[in-house]
Structure 1
Amino acid sequence: MQRLTVGETARKRKRSVTPNPLTGEKTMGSTDAQPPNLDEAFTQHLQGTAQQQIYAERKEFLLQEERDSAWDRAARESASEAENRADQLVWEVREDERDNLFGNKASEAIPGPETLDMGGQFLTNKERIEKSQLFRIAQRMPKGCHLHLHFNAELQPEGLIEWARYLPDTMFIRSTQALVNPEDYDVTEIVFNVMPADTPTSDIFSSDYNPEFKAPGSRPWMNWKTFCEEFPRTRSELNAEAWVKEKMVLQEEEVYGMKQTVNGIWARFNQATRAFKGLLNYDEAYRRYIGLAIDSMIRERVMYAELRPMLMDKFIPSVDGQQRYDLRAQMDMILEEVEKKKQELKNKNELDKFPFGVKIIYCTPRSIPKQKMRSEMQDCIELKLKYPELICGFDLVGAEDRPNHIGFYRDELLAFVETCKSLNIEIPFMFHAGETLLDTGGSKEPQNSNLYDSVLLNAKRIGHGYSLPRHPLLMEKFREKPICIELCPISNELLHLCRNVKEHTFPQLLAAGIPCTVNSDNPSLFSSSLSHEFYQVMVGWPTMGVHGWRQLAEWSITFSCLSEPEKDEARRIFKREWEEFCCWIVDKYGH
């Protein structure tokens, strides 16, 4: 058989000119074979095949497997008819507000400057959130227990500032610098304290003002009443109280400003925290604060709370500045005010609203030397021995992107555990851990992450846990033990771990089967509440619903420090209130 050369083969082929469908250019192509009719082929294979059925069955199997292992499965399977109906109605309310209140229907049109994103920046959205039906539903929701709440940050600052008016002789203020130029007001830090009326004073508005307060003979304090009277001469657009409130609460511009940094917002947060302390830490305010904080929690439909006071300062003054109350006296005040509030509720037959009072998690900063940490631990143990039903845990707090990490205190913490065992007492660890983007404990060593030490030291719960998804092995350890995570979404956003709740890692934590609770952390600094937090969780994850809310609230009971009989009673109360809540949703929104 004769073989043709390449050139001969080409000449024998019929040639055709075919326009390129994209460019219109004509190209030469062979017509040796007719191209397949792809439209017919696709039509044939779209007519229902065995492969389509197999694919559908496999997908349903995957979805069912995920549903079977879902974090909220127990809540879904035990839901009442009213709860299922409420879940559907809440979803409809959320979607309606997404389209109308926030005005962000899916569209290619560029939104106007007034259009906000549901689940976007909290402080930017806050005014609209509080007009929404979904937020009203969140306010009405029974929330179980509040497990991560810093002691000085439950009430908004206006009340504390107002109380200071009634201490014209004994409330004092100091500044970290003289208030002379306009920029001084923005950068200075302020601290309050109650002291005897004859305390030597200085003029903070003078260029000669010396802010030094540790040296012998220093006099950085100015009488607060005098400060208020003289303040307008240099800051006329605000009065002193309004200016102080700005110092105590994080503002939208400083949180989301283009030039703000993680370190910058943490420094600002710490300044605000210190401004609160002196306005609260005197006997009359301390007592009043406990009762009002409980009232606030009852309005939020919280039945029990574990508060975190910073107990490094061992004394608080009397209202006249002449006496000092040690840690035992402070614990007595808490117990007395809680009992007084419970008696008020009992007299009104409303004890179920707050039946278990509060407990205290002893907090101390991670920045202190080891010897000081040892004395802090001993103080905690002494308080536990004196108040076994009040002291319920131990925590190390502070920004995690700087020394020291938890492991720095390994020997002291292990000695703490063994000492508690020898005394037959239990003080579980409830560390702040994973509240960071760097996650190396203020070092370059990954093993210094506080999450490893939380596992090794058998923490009962951890605060925040934002960076835990970086550690697949630790995620499994948290699930197995289990270690509960105290979620604080608004705090994490405002302190620059994420830009908004939709970027938060809580869906990953829940999907991994790790138990979580929802908490407000420092609501007075963040202009927030526990209801705002539950709202954020709902709009931050499309598949979150009423069933998920219930699971989070039930976990707050399970991982609280209540006794087992108290937990059983809490579950009984919660179950009744939850069904009432779901029926309320159906009655109000069912039409």
Structure 2
Amino acid sequence: MTVQTLRSSALLSCASLLWFAAAAGGMPSAAQRDLLMRQEASRQMGGGVTLTAAERRLDADLRRLKEREMSAAQFPPALHFFKARPLIRESPVFKLLQKMPKGGALHVHTSSLVGAEWLVKNVTYRPHCHVCFTWDNSVRFVFSERRPFPRWDCFYWQLLGTLRARIGDASGFDDSLMQHLTLFTEDPDGEYPSQEVVWEKFEKVFIAAAGLITHAPVLRDYFYRGLEELLQDNVMYLELRSGLSKTYELDGTVHDTAWTLRTFQEVTRRFVADHPDFLGARVIFSVHRALSVSEVKAAVKEAIQLQADFPDVVAGFDMVGREDSGRSLWYFRDALALPAELGVALPYFFHAGETDADGTDVDQNVLDALLFNTTRIGHGYALAHHPLAKELSRKRNVAVELCPISNQVLRLVSDLRNHPAAVLMSEGHPMVVSSDDPSLFGTTGLSYDFYEAFVGIGGLKANLGTLKELALNSIRFSSLPPHLKDKGLVMWQKKWDAFIFDHS
């Protein structure tokens, strides 16, 4: 019997119980109350998971640790993540989550896959790296054998190694470069007073990193490093949102998107060969929602072709960028209807509901995503305000990709205990946990986001069964074909059993 079937059965039993209590009148019995509580608990995320004796012992320990953290003077999920991060690092719950096998990361963007420190300490020290400081307090990087020509946003390029030597304080200079490649600040409320301000910096970081990442030799190392950081955090699979940007060589040669995809494929194969306990990685081809309909139509056609050429690598298509300032999915309906008109299957993985602007055109993206048969919903922050969309996504088994730290840093929610996903988790809505843009938030892997989801959003109701179902969901709701999902579930279970043995 599936978890959803168990929940449906529990709902019917609950309705019968309430009818009986109302019909009987008088004081409800303790047995009735206990049954009601157990039936409600069975509906939450992880409520249908049966724990072994060893798992129950670890669950009891986890609850005690969580109770201690929830009673502390400073409760991390109630703080902005940038202030909470040092507290989380010292958390016994977090340290346990770091060791837990978390399955797959299904919502991560290419430009934020690898920590900013690696980009600065490794990539910017490579020969021929040039830097330019722009008029709007940002930076640009490019690798070139000679000084690059001036362009509209960069009038004066400098060889980065020469500049670093001239300044003399390499550590301080590197720290200043990292500030351009991350959103992290010790004063997040003062520096980012609104969504508009934080999104402006957010987009500047992506532009700044592009010149480093799209250099062909760097890209190979970058992909490999990204997989390493995931595996170090006990993540065994990746689905990467990527625009498959054109890459360049030192001599100026430019490679197309197919070259980028082949490089990703080759690096992934090499990494799996080096680390057999890693399942693999796939790409969700993504374009920005600021494009025109004709440009998106061309991108959809390209995605169809790329999926035909790389069926084991390309998972599908998505549209990225800030929803509140971008065009709605319905605006692009002619482009998004193209696969059906051509008689081909192109799975969609739409960002939708990453907004708190109730009732706007953008707020309807969660419904439009379902109209276009999205496979998963990226963020889905607004889903709790759309009962029909919530019902449809549950019936179709369309999982929400929950990215709690991203939602908080981008100012959709301040206290994560108030995140709408708390409602979804209490109802056992299909869900996975992911990190969105980890390098921008000063994280790696999934442990920080699992902590915020488990301790903050889930509260005391979330238990080891919750964690187990969330991890399993990341394989179940992945884009992998059935035989690889089965392989992934077997691999994960082996890791999980070892984790339980070590900690029970």
> TM-score higher than 0.5 here?
yes
Partner of 1:144: 103
Aligned to 1:6: none
Which residue number corresponds to residue 535 of structure 1?
A: 451
Report if aligned partners of 2:384, 2:421 keep a CA contact under 8 Å in 1: no
Higher helix content, 1 or 2 = 2
Which segments of 5 or more consecutive residues in structure 1 lack a partner in the other structure?
1-49, 105-115, 178-186, 202-210, 346-350, 587-591
Please list, as runs of the form range in 1=range in 2, the aligned pairs for 1:486-501 lying within 5 A after superposition. 486-501=401-416
Deviation at 1:223, TM superposition (A): 3.2
Indicate conservation of the 8 Å contact 2:117/2:178, yes or no: yes
Check whether the contact 2:147–2:159 (CA below 8 A) recurs between aligned residues.
no
Q: Give the corresponding residue for 2:92.
A: 133
> Is the Cα contact below 8 Å between 1:173 and 1:192 reproduced in 2?
yes
What do the CA deviations read for 1:363-397 (whole angstroms, capped 9, x no partner)?
10000111111121122122111111100010101
Secondary structure of residue in 2 paired with 1:388: coil
Distance 1:243 1:509, change over 3 A: same
Task: Give the letter for the 1:189 counterpart.
Answer: S
Matching of residues 57-456 of structure 1 within 5 Å: 57-75=31-49, 78-99=50-71, 103-104=72-73, 116-121=74-79, 122-169=81-128, 171-177=129-135, 188-200=137-149, 212-213=152-153, 219-229=155-165, 239-257=172-190, 260-311=193-244, 313=245, 315-318=246-249, 320-345=250-275, 351=276, 353-355=277-279, 357-419=280-342, 421-422=343-344, 426-439=345-358, 444-445=360-361, 449-456=364-371
Q: Which runs of 4+ in 1 moved over 6 A?
A: none
Instruction: Tell me the alpha carbon deviations over residues 68-90 of structure 1, each in whole angstroms, 9 at most, x when there is no partner.
Output: 43332221xx2211111111111
Shift of 1:492: 0.4
Q: Distance in 2 between matches of 1:195 and 1:258?
A: 34
1:550-570, Cα deviation, whole Å (9 max, x unpaired): 011111111101111111121
Deviations 1:26-48 (A, max 9, x none): xxxxxxxxxxxxxxxxxxxxxxx
CA contact (8 A) 2:350 2:369 kept: yes
Change (3 A) 1:416 1:172: farther
The corresponding residue for 2:7 is: none
In structure 2, C-alpha distance between the alignment counterparts of 1:225 and 1:327, rounded to whole Å: 30
8 A contact 2:404–2:452 mirrored in 1 = yes
Rg (Cα) greater in structure: 1
Distance 2:188 2:60 in 1: 35
Separation in structure 2 between the aligned mates of residue 144 and residue 553 of structure 1, nearest angstrom = 5
Shift of 1:120: 2.2
Q: Is the 8 A contact 2:67 2:460 kept in 1?
A: no
Q: Which has the higher contact order (CA 8 A, sep 6+)?
A: 2
2:366 partner letter:
L
Report if aligned partners of 2:45, 2:462 keep a CA contact under 8 Å in 1: no
Residue 133 of structure 1 deviates from its aligned partner by: 1.4
Q: Aligned to 1:571, which of 489, 492, 501? A: 489
- Specify whether residues 212 and 231 from structure 1 end up closer, same or farther in structure 2 by C-alpha distance, changes over 3 A only: farther
Listed one character per residue, the Cα deviations across residues 237-292 of structure 1 (whole Å, up to 9, x for unaligned) are 97432111012111234522287101111111111122222121111111111211
Q: How many matched pairs?
A: 477
* TM-aligned CA distance change 1:237 to 1:439, over 3 Å: farther
Pairs within 5 Å for 1:502-581: 502-529=417-444, 530-540=446-456, 541-581=459-499
Aligned residues of 2:54 and 2:501 also touching (Cα < 8 A): yes
Quote the sequence identity (%).
27
Distance in 1, matches of 2:497 and 2:171, equals 48
Q: 1:272 to 1:125 in 2, by over 3 A?
A: same
Give the alignment of 1:13-52 within 5 angstroms: none
Q: Which moved more, 1:254-263 or 1:553-562?
A: 254-263
Find the counterpart in structure 2 of residue 44 from structure 1. none
Name the aligned partner's letter for residue 71 of structure 1: M
Query: Following TM superposition, by how much is the alpha carbon of 1:456 offset from its aligned partner in structure 2, in angstroms?
Result: 0.3
Instruction: Assess, with a 3 A threshold, how the Cα gap between structure 1 residues 374 and 362 changes in structure 2: closer, same or farther.
Output: same
CA shift, 1:513, in A, is 3.2
- Matched residue type, 1:523: P
**1:172 aligns to what SS in structure 2?**
strand
Equivalent in the alignment of 1:108 = none
Tell me the TM-score normalised to structure 2 length: 0.89
Give 1:463's aligned residue: 378
Query: Contact (CA 8 Å) 1:141, 1:578: kept in 2 or not?
Result: yes
Query: What is the DSSP-based 3-state SS (H/G/I as helix, E as strand, rest coil) of the residue aligned with 2:286?
Result: strand
